[in-house]
Structure 1
């Protein structure tokens, strides 16, 4: 009760504009990651409400432009739900030692809200709309395949999908499928891997490429969650046949997150019927999952067997080099210039997934912009300190061993043997050199970490490394690259 009273007092103190913006923020929070919300929406202040126009104050011109480019649709839908169909936004940009009139922008949801799109498209509502208002697309008399909105993000294309060892097979298969949808051995194409590793980007890139190469083919991207909700909605209205018939019209069906089917048995039955029809008629089916199909406990065996008809391609977490490349592609897209040392620093410290990698880049640029400073390593360190959830990695001999093994592609267990293979000896010598340089362990302790070498071997290894650095430029360059990784890990 005390908390309720406190909240009532707080609400009374808020202006009408602030109260309305608080309602908007409740919706926005549910549709963004916490990090994105904290970076781009917490700094916004509601300063005025005049009729159906809400005025927001933002920190800078860049801030305003970023919101317009990346969150215009979310803001438009939200303001429409809170203020009504005629609701719109104006922005007031903070300027030092000057005044500036509010920037008026017609947002999605107002009379001129939505971007122009083909009037023949069947509109499929966004995932974050009120779930009770979801209307599944269905077959209507005279419906043509080209009248189906593909629900693809036009930014997801092969040109900006960075290839690496982690995704090479899946990307190559995707290109083949896009060139000949339904006519390759990769049908269905099942792409699986961890959250944020690029599955959605890849399968939507396939869809966009199919539309470019085969404009006469209908393409549809749909999440398994939306598919399940659509099925439930149509079941309540006794319209399951219409639901199935609509999906049987598709030439290239892209279904994201099929692991969500494991708890939806009736949906599996419907999808089985759709799958069979599409496959038998030479249509392409593309699926993604967070786990390998064989590990989908709760999925009907008849579906699992069909998933094995085509290609199951896994995507791994991006390695260090791929993460750098992803950052550089993102920088090019956004027109950003960031020093190489900062790119390497961010790529090293954010290792979980591509989404967090891009989020870190946004947070870094926002921080530099709000503070009106050039992006440098000091700013990157401050941002990463708050951004990376895990504590800084302790610099140990084991950590150094693993980094060197990863760089030279030497199995870790081989490093601990007394083999004289050249590549193993090279990695062992360099690891001993860095262990002596970056840890406080004794020579004997270092030798013990390599399977029992004595201190004289450690001394010899360090001398060998120093001699080679003085005489071999390529060797020195490789060593400096490894040293940078080791130093980053110790920050």
Structure 2
């Protein structure tokens, strides 16, 4: 009887919660991903993983408490816990989705397992970027020169090429530009353009379907292999080993491997030492941020592709204000063009200031995880590399947790992205670190560490405030 009453109350709480948060949000966050249990003055919310549990706790705790009060006529304690059944269901759903994606795309590459005939290409997407559209400046001139030389004679010089840069600086443009140029100017060349994720999915599909011979035969017959987002294969040992042998087979036959990543090979965590050594034996080329003149030229070219006139003062204004990357630069121009079309008015400098004012205020200083790591490690007498280790002494643990908290507060990165940039840790490590620091700040807790002058104690709130002041200067 008691069990029946508890189940009925749980059902009523879910119904009331749906009324409070609305059907759409309830469907997204609760319907198939939570389990409510009422017992002895508390409501336990079962969730499939810590990430979802943390999100629901942060955003819906009050709504759940209100729903429980309305049904039970008393205040109750809300707790969150991993539900094994929900965990298994979510994991199976993810595996099914991954399998469907792999099967859909990998078959397009493996086909019948025959070697690619001359001039055939492999790509799982439309390649929209072209070399002719690539704006050259001081920050990317070497990278563009390397790409151009490769297109002119893929066999000349040989060796691998590894482009790296921050987000939105032209790596994908270069790789897709090379692929399109090869298709137009070197029709006899066999090439493939894939992302690190696509290469991984195709390998897993071949492994599962016992088609590894076909996978290897096809990739190793390629003249130019282009892989974007190379950092994706970090943490994936089997994929790294397969890629290592693929790389050796292609490079050893005098053909070309061209890669792009958001970091230098030595800074991509969890890449095997033999693979890193192989990558840095080739040409490693950094792409830097565009300078002012280059930003202006990018905007001019983008504006010419539209039917609207963009005055030069507007071009110069945007180029002066937006310095982070090309993606943001073009995004601001597109926002201005869209607004001018909406209000049916010519583009002027005043309109640009009015339209982009909010964006420019929000943009402010661009803070990176590297900035945070340098600042925090200096504060605690460590090095950024210390924060990437698995060592758990008090000083490193405190510094690492604070760095993760600051990264979450001052960047737009997700928990998995922060985890990868801080040494390929599990995203739950970042989630728990942020919760731990948040709780200590709420409780006005203290931080303890061993500095150069010996044991140190300071209010955590003061430590974080001091670091934030330096970070935002």
Coarse TM-score class (shorter-chain normalised):
0.5 to 0.7
Q: 1:201 to 1:279 in 2, by over 3 A?
A: same
Matched, 1:135 2:106: yes
From 187, 190, 194, the counterpart of 2:166: 194
Matched, 1:378 2:353: no
* Structure 2 counterparts to residues 68-79 of structure 1, below 5 A: none
**CA distance in structure 1 between the partners assigned to 2:239 and 2:23 by the alignment:** 48
Matched, 1:5 2:19: yes
* Structure 2 counterparts to residues 291-302 of structure 1, below 5 A: 291-302=263-274
From 131, 153, 165, the counterpart of 1:180: 153
- Which stretches in structure 2 are left out of the alignment for 5+ residues? 1-13, 26-97, 366-473
From 129, 137, 140, the counterpart of 1:164: 137
- Number of the residue aligned with 1:317: 289
Q: 1:288 to 1:385 in 2, by over 3 A?
A: same
More displaced stretch, 236-245 vs 372-381: 236-245
* Structure 2 counterparts to residues 450-489 of structure 1, below 5 A: none
Give me the CA root mean square deviation. Answer: 2.5
SS state at 2:110 partner: coil
Deviations 1:60-98 (A, max 9, x none): xxxxxxxxxxxxxxxxxxxxxxxxxxxxxxxxxxxxxxx
1:292 Cα offset (Å): 1.0
TM-score of the aligned structures, taking structure 2 as reference length: 0.54
1:172 Cα offset (Å): 0.6
**CA distance in structure 2 between the partners assigned to 1:253 and 1:10 by the alignment:** 44
Q: 1:210 to 1:147 in 2, by over 3 A?
A: closer
- Number of the residue aligned with 1:108: none
* Structure 2 counterparts to residues 33-432 of structure 1, below 5 A: 130=101, 133-136=104-107, 137-138=109-110, 140=112, 144-145=116-117, 146-151=119-124, 153-185=126-158, 187-388=159-360, 390=362
The answer to whether the 8 A contact 1:188-1:311 is kept is: yes
1:144 Cα offset (Å): 3.7
Deviations 1:200-256 (A, max 9, x none): 101211122222221011121100011112222222222222222221122111001
**CA distance in structure 1 between the partners assigned to 2:240 and 2:258 by the alignment:** 16
The answer to whether the 8 A contact 1:169-1:313 is kept is: yes
TM-score of the aligned structures, taking structure 1 as reference length: 0.52
Q: 1:4 to 1:182 in 2, by over 3 A?
A: farther
SS state at 1:358 partner: helix
The answer to whether the 8 A contact 1:220-1:253 is kept is: yes
SS state at 1:390 partner: helix
- Which stretches in structure 1 are left out of the alignment for 5+ residues? 12-126, 394-491
Write 1 or 2 for the structure with the bigger share of helix: 2
Deviations 1:272-297 (A, max 9, x none): 11111111122111000111112223
**CA distance in structure 2 between the partners assigned to 1:314 and 1:233 by the alignment:** 33
The answer to whether the 8 A contact 2:113-2:217 is kept is: no
